[in-house]
Amino acid sequence: MTATTDGSTGAAPPRAASASQPLDTTAATAGTRDAAARAMQRSTDFLLSRQDAQGWWKGDLETNVTMDAEDLLLRQFLGIRDEPTTRAAALFIRGEQRDDGTWATFFGGPGELSATIEAYVALRLAGDRPDEPHMVKASAWVREQGGIAASRVFTRIWLALFGWWKWDDLPELPPELIYFPKWFPLNIYDFGCWARQTIVPLTIVSAKRPVRPAPFALDELHADARRPNPVKPLAPVASWDGVFQRLDKALHVYRKVAPRRVRKAAMNSAARWIIERQENDGCWGGIQPPAVYSVIALHLLGYDLDHPVLKAGLDSLDRFAVWRDDGARMIEACQSPVWDTCLATIALADAGVPADHPQLVKAADWMLGEQIVRPGDWSVRRPGLTPGGWAFEFHNDNYPDIDDTAEVALALRRVKHPDKARMENAIERGVRWNLGMQSKNGAWGAFDVDNTSAFPNRLPFCDFGEVIDPPSADVTGHVVEMLAVEGKSHDPRTRRGIEWLLAEQEESGAWFGRWGVNYVYGTGSVVPALVAAGLPASHRAIRRAVSWVESVQNDDGGWGEDLRSYRERGWAGHGTSSASQTAWALLALLSAGEREAKSVERGIAWLAETQREDGSWDEPYFTGTGFPWDFSINYHLYRQVFPLTALGRYVNGEPFTGGSGKGS
């Protein structure tokens, strides 16, 4: 087993150095620029060599072992678990266990109860005995943390499928939810798209309450084996938590008296909703969890495993598997080819690869073919808006996202494509779609408009992370930057976005990063956007951001930020230096006119010094965010594309910023 750090959350975060040797910060600027140019060329060669023949790039998307554990539990539930898959999954799960017997949800993080329980159960399925030392450590820690009863709802749902937990002791999720009109509180469109796609199938599972025979007992994971399902006290009735807890109790009562015809009709309506949203590749939303729960839900309604819908769904799950050289099998929560490809295109163009380079043209061709020109769930709130966005994944036509659309437009503008009319039409359509997805506060969320209801997060069921999609600084920054490049800096809608960003700046001078870790990402996304939109480098907001970025630079010259900054403000901007986070800090400083600053020289030198011989960087740290703190991501291509972008802008100057938007 390999172990990470102990995850201690001490009172004050360290000013961490990277694992590499400390840099000689007395190196001359000329030497740094020469080193940067060499590093840029090596990185360019490396990234070009990783392009797929079809034109896209995709790095592994690493999350945590709950993906792998739930994949095995699904196969056990459906009766299709096989020995080779089980053995490979168990090899990966064992390798992620920490010395204290726990599993974390990100590299270097603390042990996490639900992840540890699910990993433990998966290893039991794989044949690991409960009296083996690594299993004894895990179960003892689980009991110390309160046992299964203290775990998250999703973990207990998986255990309930095998009788290891009582369905009566889980929050009720009625399928009649599908009938709530879109103006009614807690209708399915009040949830973020990732939660919506998960909740709808789970209403069927909750209604059916299936139990498969358990292959073994789990008494060792209960804190009190005599009373494994303790009753938790209710919050005060005057509190929101108290209100929703009592609502859940009322739903448990309703379950007993719900008219059978109504319930059956609701489940059938939910099934139709699910099937209508199955993608061409068989998946749902391009992400693994909704696919898993959709397969279970439809199977419970009588769809056999050879039914075309289920067969395609199960086949799609196999495509989330990454087989490693050591024989281990890791499950990706989703795949990121559109995101990786647009970021790689921007990086290569900023590094000086000619705009008509065949590989950039091929990348543009592939991205053009991925534009979504049919309505999806977003059209519930914007029914008259013409489609034109891009999704994150290979197949996800129901859920294009605003962030990818902005970055794809920025990437396409950097390519000289032989079919200029096709490029212009695609970009124009994407820009129009993004503008139409602006929320009423002037900012942009990731997938939906005004997805800001306070109610979904209050539900007892929703303890697994963020379930709504409010506007964020990083997405809004990317959209503002794209609009500036398209010559729309003075458009009233762009100005509203800028005003929102200025109002969202933290007292420290940083911006919160919703989809990347964290304040370094947010600030690295917003400062280039504001400068592109016309704010001078002398603007107070820019100077405050520069001061903050420089104040959190590590002693080794790099930047890093631990995921604990989502919970503990003392960690903001602090953590072991990483390639992607160093690049984000540099992008902010470079756009603010700090190219000659000592902080920039030291950061560039850190990138050059830590680059590997093949032109890549090593980065075990999780710098991507699914749900702040609750679900973290290590995008394996981040460590390549963002450093190359920073090196390119340092060596070659700032990137193309448009004007009319028609000049590329």
| Residues taking part in catalysis | 403
Q: How many CB atoms lie within 10 A of CB 315?
A: 12
pLDDT at 18: 42
pLDDT at 660: 37
pLDDT at 465: 75
Q: What is the DSSP string of 513-582?
A: -SSBSSHHHHHHHHHHHHHHTT--TTSHHHHHHHHHHHHT--TTS-----GGGGT-GGGTT-SS--HHHH
Which residue type, as a one-letter code, is found at position 64?
A: N
Q: 484-505: buried (b, 16+ CB within 10 Å) or exposed (e) per residue? A: bbbebbeeeebbbbbebbeebb
d(CA 323, CA 341): 22
Residue 455 has pLDDT above 50, yes or no: yes
Under the phi-then-psi rule, with left for phi > 0, alpha for psi from -120 to 50, and beta for the rest, what region is 172? beta
Residue 568 has pLDDT above 90, yes or no: yes
- The share of the chain scoring above pLDDT 90, in percent, equals 85
Give all domains of the chain, ordered by start, each with its CATH number. Answer: 18-49+518-657 (1.50.10.20), 62-216+235-331 (1.50.10.20)
602-607 mean pLDDT = 98
d(CA 530, CA 535): 6
pLDDT digits (tens, 9 = 90+) for 392-444: 999 999 999 999 999 999 999 999 999 999 999 999 999 999 999 999 999 99
104-130 mean pLDDT = 97
- Decide which of 601 and 22 is more confident: 601
Evaluate whether 157 touches 170 at the Cβ level (below 8 Å).
yes
pLDDT digits (tens, 9 = 90+) for 231-275: 567 777 666 666 667 776 887 888 888 899 999 999 999 999 999
User: Poorest-confidence range of 192-196, 435-439, 483-487?
Assistant: 192-196
Q: Enter the pTM of the model.
A: 0.92
Q: What is the DSSP string of 422-470?
A: HHHHHHHHHHHHHHHT--TTS---SSSSSB--SSGGGSTT--SS---B-
